[in-house]
Amino acid sequence: MVELVIIAIAAALFFDFYNGMNDAANAIATVIGSRALKPIQAVILAAIGNFVGPFVFGVAVATTVGKGLIDLDIVTIYVVIAGVAGAIVWIATATHYGIPISASHTLIGGFVGAGIAAGGIEAVIFEGFNKVLTFMAVSPIAGLVIAFSITILLLRILKNKKPYVVNRIFGRLQIGSAAFFSITHGANDGQKTMGIIVAALVAGGILESFYVPYYVILMAASALAVGTFVGGFKVIKTMGLRLTALKPYQGFCAETGGGVILTLMAQFGIPVSTTHAIAGSIMGVGATRRLSAVRWGVGKTMIYAWLITIPASAAMGAVAYKLLEVAGII
């Protein structure tokens, strides 16, 4: 059983690494898109922020993911392994093709799919799962509204300022907003892997009850940071350069709007998608100029990817569990 727990934890950390690669764009897309930082500088900043984040905001999200989605009586070590395997396949595919999917929903989908394969639909805790689905829609809309509002306010304050002065000031401020978003990104996304790791430790009998030890936080934060440093540059290009052209003050507004959403959700233990939050914020900023400034076609493609993420990763998690059964491992 100990060996299986190690395999489950290794798989979860590998997913966390891929999460960092795919979601590196979420924290630094705007600071690259506005040219406030070079890509390598932005990646280093995001890696540090993603490492720090899980230590800052508690473990409410980890608790929701680990014991608020699937009945713990159903969660065996095989459910964890199959769920993470399904999630890895989906996020690796998306990262390869530069699709900025939600790593959060990928992990949740894989875990829920494996749980259903093991215990049927009654294994799902719908109160927690419905929260995820609700905020799948709420987070990008909220990000759009908050970033749009901040941008409008700044435009009124700065209307008599010369453009080069504004760009110089916000080129510096945006580094701070990128760091803020990186920390909140790490707080939200790092915790999801923590929840899965603790579920594996409980299922394997290593822990008697569900709580998040310090060493689990350290492992998850480190894997996320390393993945972020390696970086998913195809996704960065989509998020930072293709959605809309950004100036430094606009990047500042997008990162601030997205960071506010993630801070609130981390406090309430709601595992939202950082991709959704920042993509909505970028669109909200672009829409302050004119609606045509946002490349809605790119956004629409991203939305399609989001919609299929939970079903696709759930199906892969369920298939992985059934393959373990067929192979006689379970």
211-249 burial by CB neighbour count: b if 16+ within 10 A, else e?
ebeeebbebbbbbbbbbbbebbbbbbbbbbebbbebbbb
Which DSSP string do the residues of 29-61 spell out, in sequence order?
HHHHHTTSS-HHHHHHHHHHHHHHHHHHS-SHH
Query: What are 270-308's pLDDT values in tens digits?
Result: 888 887 788 788 888 877 876 655 555 555 666 676 678
pLDDT given for residue 114 in this prediction: 96
Lowest mean pLDDT among 25-29, 177-181, 206-210: 25-29
Q: Which amino acid is at 163?
A: P
- The structural domains of the chain, with segments of one domain joined by +, span 2-322
pLDDT given for residue 243 in this prediction: 47
pTM of the complete model: 0.83
Torsion of Cα atoms, 309 then 312 then 313 then 314, to 10°: 120
pLDDT higher than threshold 80 for residue 235 = no
* Residue 269 zone, left/alpha/beta (φ > 0; ψ -120 to 50; rest): left
User: Contact at 8 Å (CB) between 111 and 138?
Assistant: no
Q: Give the C-alpha separation, 24 to 53, whole Å.
A: 14
Q: Give the C-alpha separation, 224 to 48, whole Å.
A: 10
pLDDT given for residue 296 in this prediction: 56
Q: Give the C-alpha separation, 3 to 325, whole Å.
A: 18
Instruction: Give the number of other CB atoms < 10 A from CB of residue 120.
Output: 10
Rounded to an integer, the average pLDDT of 249-259 is 88
User: Contact at 8 Å (CB) between 282 and 74?
Assistant: no
pLDDT > 90 in the chain, percent = 33
Query: What are 160-181's pLDDT values in tens digits?
Result: 888 888 888 888 898 898 899 8
Phi then psi for residue 124, to 5 deg, are -75, 135
Query: What are 87-133's pLDDT values in tens digits?
Result: 988 888 876 776 667 778 889 999 999 999 999 999 999 988 888 88
Task: Spell out the residues 6+ positions from residue 250 whose beta carbon is closer than 8 angstroms to its own.
Answer: 30, 34, 151, 285, 286, 288
Q: Residue written as tokens 């399609």?
A: 304
